[in-house]
Amino acid sequence: MLGKNPVRPQELSDGQSLWIQSVFYTLQGEGPFIGKPALFVRLAGCNLKCFWCDTDFESSTWHPTLDELFERIESERPQHCKLVVITGGEPFRQNIAPLVERLLAMKLSVQIETNGTLWVELPEHKDLHIVCSPKSSFIHERLLPRITTFKYVLESDGISSDDGLPNRSTQKCDTETTIARPPAGSDIYVMPLDAGEEKQNEANRRICVDVAMRFGYRMTLQSHKLLNID
Ligand code: SF4
């Protein structure tokens, strides 16, 4: 979307119908479940607009009921695939609680990918994993204790020398800002920003290696981009 998407506020319904961008089966390309086959449910709309975001989460007109959505999920998900990734856009913009509860009841692992600014009350569950990639100075206070992993996308400049994490706004190009930091002891992943240009990408990879080694973070590449899969 490259920062061109409309900013959409949180719109909570009873969660029995959701605005869905897409449902697809692939490999998880980044973060703690990298390389695992996963069924992705991409929710439409986002409450932020990051200038480098290249994800399409606005073009769908599909508003399935929960039953219709599960019909699609189960037609796309092979039986051996036990991981469902709920992503966006920003998934907490909509009431995903009924969706999550139903997936957990099916004994599936659920990973939610969020920018950290919104929250919907969810059950505590060993198979629910919330991965936050902060894009602003704010993390919702109810979400914060539920985050299992933090993820940061790094560029070669705009990195704090104190902790190796980004100090550059994701909302306005070339603007310094404070991006929310994880609490001490958090599980932290760093990955290079895809700048669309090899020289810059190489510099972005180098800074991730350096930062991971200096501060004890885990580095992953955005392998789905290298593999050219969704
Ligand atoms: S928060 Fe995520 S989905 Fe939303 S615009 Fe930023 S990168 Fe894209």
Q: Tens digits of per-residue pLDDT, 154-211?
A: 999 889 999 999 998 888 887 888 899 999 999 999 999 888 899 999 999 999 999 9
Q: Which of 115, 152, 154 to mutate to test the pocket of ligand 1 (most atoms within 8 A of CB)?
A: 115
Task: Compute the distance from residue 45 Cα to the ligand 1 centre, in Å.
Answer: 9
Mean pLDDT of 63-80: 98
Q: What is the pLDDT of residue 194?
A: 86
Mean pLDDT of 137-162: 94
Q: Is the pLDDT of residue 38 over 80?
A: yes
CB distance 41 to 86 below 8 Å: yes
Among candidates 100, 90, 83, 66, which has minimal Cα distance to 28?
83
C-alpha 18/C-alpha 81 separation (Å) is 23
The CATH number fitting domain 20-227, selected from 3.20.20.70, 3.40.50.620, 3.30.565.10, 3.90.25.10? 3.20.20.70
Among candidates 211, 223, 228, 230, which has minimal Cα distance to 31?
223
Q: What is the pLDDT of residue 81?
A: 98
Q: Which of 22, 42, 48, 194 to mutate to test the pocket of ligand 1 (most atoms within 8 A of CB)?
A: 48
Q: Is the pLDDT of residue 150 over 90?
A: yes
Task: Compute the distance from residue 79 Cα to the ligand 1 centre, in Å.
Answer: 30
Q: What is the pLDDT of residue 70?
A: 98
pLDDT tens-digit readout, 50-67: 988 989 999 999 999 999
Helix axis angle, 97-105 to 66-76, nearest 10°? 50
Domain ranges of the chain: 20-227
Is the Cα dihedral 35, 148, 17, 11 positive or negative?
A: negative
Q: Is the pLDDT of residue 223 over 80?
A: no
Task: Compute the distance from residue 53 Cα to the ligand 1 centre, in Å.
Answer: 6
Tokens of 112: 């939610």
C-alpha 25/C-alpha 75 separation (Å) is 10
Q: What is the pLDDT of residue 40?
A: 98
- Residue type at position 173: C
Peptide bond before 89: cis, by omega within 30 degrees of 0? Answer: yes
- DSSP category for residue 194: -
Q: Is the pLDDT of residue 228 over 80?
A: no
Q: What is the mean pLDDT of the chain?
A: 94
CA distances from 122 to 66, 116, 125 (A): 17, 14, 9
Q: What is the pLDDT of residue 176?
A: 82
- DSSP category for residue 166: B
Tokens of 133: 């990639």
Of all protein residues, whose CA lies closest to atom 3 belonging to ligand 1? Answer: 89
Task: Compute the distance from residue 182 Cα to the ligand 1 centre, in Å.
Answer: 19
pTM summary value: 0.94
Q: What is the pLDDT of residue 212?
A: 97
Q: Is the pLDDT of residue 1 over 90?
A: no
Q: Which atom of ligand 1 is nearest to the CA of 55?
A: 8
Of all protein residues, whose CA lies closest to atom 8 belonging to ligand 1? Answer: 53
Q: What is the pLDDT of residue 7?
A: 97
- The pLDDT > 70 percentage for the chain reads 100
Q: What is the pLDDT of residue 227?
A: 74
Mean pLDDT of 21-38: 95
Q: Which atom of ligand 1 is nearest to the CA of 135?
A: 1
Give 140 or 193, the one with higher predicted confidence.
Answer: 140
Q: Which atom of ligand 1 is nearest to the CA of 52?
A: 7
pLDDT band at 2 (very low <50, low <70, confident <90, very high): confident
Q: Which atom of ligand 1 is nearest to the CA of 5?
A: 5
Residues lining ligand 1, Cβ inside 6 A: 46, 48-50, 53, 55, 88-90, 115, 135
pLDDT band at 224 (very low <50, low <70, confident <90, very high): confident
Q: Which of 30, 53, 94, 171 to mutate to test the pocket of ligand 1 (most atoms within 8 A of CB)?
A: 53
